[in-house]
C-alpha cells in the first residue's frame, strides 16, 4: 500500500473514491511548516538559510502521516499543481524525513482536475519534487519575510499608527490611493450635445445626434455651454432635413476565451458582487469536489478532449449551426509557464448547473464557468450595423443615427460578459430608412453633460489592473486584496475600494522614503525574476542577495529621520487632499478657529492621524484628515441650538471623531465642556436634546441604599458604566446611561463585586493581544492609574489618547520595547527557560547550517 497526501479533507475524500483500498489518503491541512514570526528566521549572514517550524495545528497531521508510513513503504505527494502545491510537498518531505529512511520511496504526482481519469493518469506518471519551483517559493517567502520584518518596524517608529508594510500589498495600496488622489484632483468639465427625434414618411420614429455644425465636424467639447447649445438647436430647427446616406455593414462578435484566475475573479465581481476571496473559496470547493479544473492558473488553453466534449454538448443542446467549422484554440503568453495550467472549466461538459446540487455561491460560480466554457467553443454572433446620416441641403448641420440588428445570436445565446462601467449603446434597432427621403423633426433637445472622474477600483478592476502591470500571480491576487482590507488600510463601500487615512499615510511614507519598493515596474520585474527561478533560469540566492543589499541601504537611510521630518514630507504629499481649495479663494491652511495658526498634519500615539492648529495649545482646533470631503466636514461647527445660559451647542469634527461642545474656549475657561459622540450616533442627525444629555454626563442616579454614597452613570473610555465610590461597572447599552434607575444600578454593581470576589487577587486581562516574538502573551490590563499592556515583567502604560479597545499587537510591541529600553526590565529569557523548561516546536534550517539572525527588528506581518 501507499500513503497519498493532499491538502484538504474534501480533496482526500474525492480522491479516495477513485484510488480504492490499495491507498491510504490523508490530508496535510494546508502548509505544515512556516517561518517562525520572529527575528532571525531568514539568516541574511549565512546564505539566506531559513529556519522552519512545524505549526502547532499541523503536528498531529504530520504524526498521522508518519504513523501510516510505518506500515507503508511509499509516500505519494499529490498536492496542487502550482508553486504553492510544490512547496507543500517539499515541506512534507522535509518534515517527515525521520520516517522516510530505510528504503522508503517518495514520489510526486499532479493532476489538473480531480476526476478518475486524471487521477489514474497522474498515478501512472510519478516524478520527483520540482526543486526549481520550490526555490521560487523559497525566494518569494524570504522576500516577503525580509520586507515585512524590516520595513514594518520602520513604519511603527516613524509613523505611529501604521500596522505593517508588505512587498506586494503596499504596491496594491498605492494603486488605490493614487486613484483616490486622481478623483479628488479631478475638476468636471461641462459640455453639451444635441439630439433630435426624427420621423420617416411612413410614420416611424428614430433618434439621431448632431455631428456637424456650421459645416464642421463636432468634437466632444465644441458645444461648451447652454448658449452654444441653444444656437445649435436653432440651427437644426431652422433647416429642412433629408437622409443623405444609409450604410449597412455586417459585423461579427467572437466569443470570449475560457476563464483563468484573474478573469474569473473579475466576472464574479461584476455579475454577483463576489470578492476575490469569496470567489476563490467557492472555486476551491468546486475543484475539490471534482466539478472544475484547477482554479489558480494563468492559462486559457483547453485540453483537446475537453474542446471536443464542449462541441458535442453544443451540438446536442443548440444544433449544428452553433458549432463552428473548426475548434477554437486559445493561447496567451503567460507570465509564468509554471502557473500556466489549463483554463478553468467544468470537468464534465454535460454537467449543466441545474444537474448539480450545490451551495448558492458555488452554484453561481459554476454557472459562470460552465456558460463561459461552452460559449468559448460556439459560433460567432453575426450582426448588421447600420449608420444613417441626416443633413441639411446647405451641409451646415448633419445628424447621425446608429443601430444594430443581431442576425444570428451564436455564443450570445449562452453568455455575454459583464461590463465594469457603463458604455455607449448602439444596439437599438432602426426602422426602415431610405436614402434621399425627408426626415421630419419631432423634437430637438439639448443635453448637458459633465466629464466624470475616474471610477474607484472594485476588486475586479483592481485585479485586472494588477494583472496588466504584472503585479502578483494567480495564487496571490485574492490574498493581496484581502490583506489591505483586513489591516484597515482600505474599506469597501458599495463594492468600491476607498483608502482609509492610515492607508494614505503609509503610501505617502513609502512613496517618499522607499519609492523604489512601491514602483510598479520594480515589483513586476521582481515577479518576473521569481518566474525565472521557477524555470531554472536564475539562482534564487543571488536574487535575494541583490535585493537585500539595496534594501538594507534604503532602511539605513531612514535611521536618522525624525517624526517631524516624516510628517512634513507626508503633509506636502497629501496637501491637495488635506487642504482643498476654498470656495472664497482664501488660504486653505488657515485655522478656522483662531484665524492665526496654520493647519498641519499630526499623529497620535494611539494610531491614526489628524489635522491640528500650529497655535496649539492656545488653539485646540483638530479634525480628521478625511474631513474635507466627508460628513464630518459638513457638520464641523454646526450650531444645534443654545443651552439655558445662552451658550451655543455645536457639533465638531475632532481627531478621534465627532464631538459636541458647549460655548467657545476663553481665557477664563480654556477647555469648554465637550463630549464625544458614542458609536452609532450620527453627527448629521444629532439633536440639541441629545447633545445636552451627553454634555450633562455623568448623570447622578442617587444615593446608594447601603452607604448613601452617590451612584452615577456615564460614558468612559471603556464604554457606558455606573459608578459607586471607586467601583465602575460596565452596562451594555449607551442608551441605558440616560434611563438607568437605582435598582438596576445596584444590581449591576453587585454583579461586578461578585465577579471580583471570585477572581481572587490576580487581575483579569481586558484583552489578549497576541504572542510576543520572543514568546509569552501580551495582555491589556486595567490598572489603578489607567490601562496598560503587560508582557512578562514589563508593564507599559497606555498614552492618554489611546483607546484600550483598539490598541493593536504592533502598537503594544512598540510600547513594550520603549518601556524595556527605559527601565531595563526586559526579562532574561534564557534564565527563565532553564528554570522552567517548556516543549519547543520543532524547527529546521534550510540552506545554511546555523542561524545568526539579522533579518529584522520586531514581529511584522509578511506581505
Residue-wise pLDDT for 282-300, tens only, equals: 999 999 999 999 998 888 9
Predicted local distance difference test score (pLDDT) of residue 759: 45
SS (H, E, C) 708-724: CCEEEEEEECCEEEEEE
| Predicted pLDDT at 853 | 36
Cβ(718)–Cβ(670) under 8 Å? no
Q: Which long-range contacts (CB under 8 A, 24 or more apart) does 507-510 make?
A: 507/170, 507/173, 507/174, 507/177, 507/178, 508/177, 508/569, 508/570, 508/573, 508/574, 509/155, 509/158, 509/159, 509/162, 509/566, 509/570, 510/165, 510/170, 510/174
Which pLDDT score, from 0 to 100, does residue 862 have?
A: 39
pLDDT score, position 427: 61
Q: Kindly state the DSSP code that residue 637 receives in the 8-state scheme.
A: T
Instruction: Give the model's pLDDT for residue 340.
Output: 56
Q: Which residues are catalytic?
A: 294
Q: What local confidence, expressed as pLDDT, does residue 851 receive?
A: 36
- Looking at residue 669, its pLDDT comes to 80
> Which residues of the chain have a pLDDT value below 50?
337-338, 423-424, 628-634, 757-761, 824-841, 848-863
Q: Please, which residues have CB within 8 angstroms of residue 69's CB and are 6 or more apart in sequence?
A: 3, 75, 96, 99, 100, 104
Interatomic CA distance for residues 519 and 522, integer angstroms: 5
Q: Please answer whether residues 507 and 609 qualify as being in contact, where contact means their C-beta atoms are separated by less than 8 angstroms.
A: no
Cβ atoms of 31 and 8 within 8 Å: the answer is: no
**According to the model, what pLDDT value does residue 295 have?**
93
Query: From its phi and psi, is residue 646 left (phi > 0), alpha (psi between -120 and 50) or beta?
Result: left
* Residue 848: predicted pLDDT: 42
Helices (H), 319-359: none
Cell of 214: 456650421
Question: Minimal CA–CA distance to 800: which of 716, 677, 704?
Answer: 716
* Nearest-angstrom CA–CA distance, 755 and 44: 51
Set of cell numbers at residue 430: 432602426
What are the cell numbers at 67? 504513523
pTM: 0.71
Q: Give the CB-side neighbour count of residue 296, counting CA atoms within 13 A.
A: 25
**What pLDDT was estimated at residue 839?**
45
Residue 836 to residue 489: CA distance in whole angstroms:
41
pLDDT in the model for residue 294: 93
Amino acid at each position: 500500500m501507499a500513503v497519498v497526501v493532499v491538502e484538504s479533507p474534501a480533496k482526500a475524500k474525492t480522491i479516495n473514491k477513485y484510488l480504492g483500498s490499495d491507498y491510504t489518503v490523508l490530508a496535510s491541512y494546508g502548509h505544515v511548516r512556516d517561518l517562525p514570526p520572529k527575528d532571525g528566521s531568514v539568516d541574511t549572514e549565512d546564505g539566506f538559510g531559513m529556519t522552519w517550524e512545524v505549526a502547532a495545528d499541523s503536528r498531529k497531521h504530520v504524526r498521522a502521516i508518519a504513523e501510516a508510513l510505518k506500515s507503508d513503504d511509499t509516500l505519494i505527494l499529490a498536492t496542487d499543481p502550482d508553486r504553492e502545491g510544490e512547496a507543500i510537498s517539499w515541506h512534507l518531505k522535509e518534515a517527515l524525513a525521520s520516517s522516510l529512511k530505510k528504503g522508503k520511496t517518495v514520489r510526486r504526482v499532479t493532476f489538473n482536475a480531480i476526476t478518475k481519469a486524471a487521477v489514474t493518469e497522474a498515478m501512472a506518471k510519478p516524478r520527483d519534487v520540482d526543486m526549481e519551483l520550490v526555490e521560487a517559493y523559497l525566494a518569494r517567502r524570504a522576500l516577503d519575510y525580509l520586507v515585512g520584518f524590516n520595513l514594518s518596524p520602520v513604519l511603527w517608529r516613524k509613523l505611529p499608527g501604521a500596522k505593517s508594510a508588505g512587498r506586494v500589498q503596499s504596491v496594491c495600496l498605492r494603486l488605490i490611493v493614487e486613484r483616490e488622489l486622481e478623483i479628488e484632483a479631478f475638476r468636471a468639465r461641462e459640455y453639451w450635445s444635441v439630439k433630435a427625434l426624427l420621423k420617416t414618411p411612413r410614420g416611424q420614429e428614430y433618434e439621431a445626434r448632431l455631428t456637424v455644425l456650421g459645416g464642421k465636424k463636432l468634437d466632444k467639447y465644441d458645444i461648451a455651454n447652454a448658449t452654444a447649445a441653444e444656437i445649435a438647436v436653432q440651427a437644426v430647427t431652422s433647416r429642412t432635413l433629408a437622409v443623405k446616406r444609409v450604410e449597412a455593414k455586417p459585423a461579427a462578435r467572437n466569443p470570449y476565451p475560457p476563464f483563468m484566475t484573474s478573469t474569473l475573479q473579475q466576472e464574479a465581481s461584476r455579475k454577483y458582487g463576489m470578492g476575490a476571496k469569496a470567489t476563490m473559496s467557492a472555486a476551491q470547493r468546486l475543484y475539490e469536489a471534482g466539478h472544475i479544473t484547477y482554479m489558480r492558473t494563468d492559462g486559457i488553453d483547453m485540453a483537446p478532449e475537453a474542446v471536443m466534449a464542449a462541441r458535442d454538448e453544443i451540438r446536442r443542446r443548440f444544433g449544428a449551426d452553433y458549432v463552428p467549422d473548426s475548434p477554437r484554440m486559445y493561447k496567451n503568453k503567460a507570465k509564468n509557464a509554471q502557473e500556466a495550467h489549463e483554463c478553468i472549466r467544468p470537468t464534465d461538459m454535460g454537467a449543466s448547473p441545474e444537474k448539480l446540487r450545490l451551495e448558492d455561491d458555488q452554484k453561481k460560480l459554476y454557472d459562470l464557468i460552465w456558460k463561459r466554457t461552452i460559449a468559448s467553443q460556439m459560433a460567432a454572433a453575426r450582426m448588421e450595423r447600420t449608420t444613417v446620416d441626416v443633413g441639411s441641403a446647405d451641409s451646415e448641420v448633419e445628424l447621425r443615427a446608429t443601430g444594430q440588428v443581431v442576425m444570428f445570436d451564436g455564443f450570445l445565446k449562452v453568455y455575454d460578459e459583464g461590463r465594469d462601467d457603463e458604455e455607449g449603446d448602439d444596439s437599438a434597432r432602426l426602422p426602415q430608412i431610405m436614402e434621399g427621403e425627408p426626415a421630419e423633426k419631432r423634437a430637438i433637445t439639448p443635453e448637458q453633460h459633465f466629464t466624470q472622474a475616474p471610477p474607484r477600483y472594485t476588486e475586479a478592476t483592481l485585479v485586472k489592473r494588477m494583472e496588466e502591470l504584472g503585479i502578483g500571480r494567480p495564487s496571490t491576487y485574492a490574498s493581496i486584496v484581502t490583506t489591505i482590507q483586513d489591516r484597515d488600510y482600505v474599506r469597501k463601500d458599495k463594492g468600491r475600494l476607498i483608502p482609509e487615512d492610515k492607508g494614505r499615510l503609509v503610501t505617502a511614507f513609502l512613496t517618499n522614503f522607499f519609492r523604489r519598493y512601491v514602483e510598479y515596474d520594480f515589483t513586476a520585474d521582481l515577479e518576473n525574476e521569481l518566474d525565472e527561478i521557477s524555470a531554472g533560469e536564475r539562482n534564487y540566492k543571488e536574487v535575494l542577495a541583490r535585493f537585500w543589499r539595496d534594501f538594507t541601504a534604503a532602511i539605513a537611510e531612514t535611521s536618522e529621520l525624525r517624526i517631524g521630518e516624516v510628517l512634513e514630507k507626508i503633509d506636502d504629499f497629501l496637501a491637495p487632499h488635506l487642504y482643498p481649495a476654498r470656495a472664497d479663494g482664501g488660504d486653505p491652511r488657515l485655522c478656522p478657529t483662531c484665524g492665526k495658526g496654520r493647519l498641519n498634519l499630526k499623529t497620535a500615539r494611539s494610531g491614526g492621524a489628524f489635522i491640528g492648529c500650529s497655535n496649539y495649545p492656545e488653539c485646540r482646533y483638530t479634525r480628521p484628515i478625511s474631513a474635507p470631503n466627508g460628513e464630518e466636514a459638513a457638520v464641523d461647527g454646526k450650531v444645534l441650538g443654545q443651552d439655558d445660559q445662552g451658550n451655543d451647542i455645536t457639533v465638531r469634527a475632532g481627531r478621534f471623531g465627532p464631538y459636541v461642545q458647549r460655548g467657545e474656549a476663553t481665557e477664563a475657561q480654556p477647555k469648554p465642556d465637550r463630549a464625544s459622540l458614542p458609536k452609532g450616533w450620527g453627527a448629521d442627525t444629532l439633536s440639541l436634546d441629545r447633545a445636552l444629555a451627553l454634555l450633562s454626563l455623568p448623570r447622578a442616579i442617587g444615593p446608594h441604599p447601603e452607604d448613601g454614597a452617590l451612584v452615577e452613570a456615564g460614558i468612559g473610555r471603556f464604554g457606558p458604566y455606573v459608578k459607586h465610590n471607586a467601583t465602575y461597572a460596565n452596562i451594555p447599552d449607551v442608551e441605558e446611561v440616560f434611563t438607568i434607575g437605582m435598582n438596576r444600578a445596584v444590581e449591576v454593581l453587585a454583579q461586578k463585586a461578585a465577579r471580583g470576589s471570585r477572581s481572587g487577587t490576580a487581575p483579569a486581562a481586558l484583552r489578549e493581544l497576541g504572542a510576543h516574538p520572543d514568546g509569552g502573551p501580551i495582555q491589556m490590563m486595567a490598572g489603578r492609574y489607567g490601562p496598560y499592556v503587560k508582557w512578562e515583567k514589563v508593564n507599559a502604560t497606555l498614552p492618554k489618547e489611546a483607546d484600550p479597545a483598539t490598541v493593536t499587537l504592533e502598537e503594544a510591541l512598540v510600547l513594550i520595547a520603549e518601556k524595556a529600553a527605559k527601565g531595563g526590565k526586559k526579562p532574561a529569557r534564557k534564565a527563565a527557560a532553564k528554570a522552567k523548561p517548556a516543549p519547543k516546536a520543532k524547527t529546521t534550517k534550510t540552506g545554511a547550517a546555523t542561524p545568526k539572525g539579522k533579518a529584522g527588528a520586531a514581529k511584522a506581518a509578511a506581505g
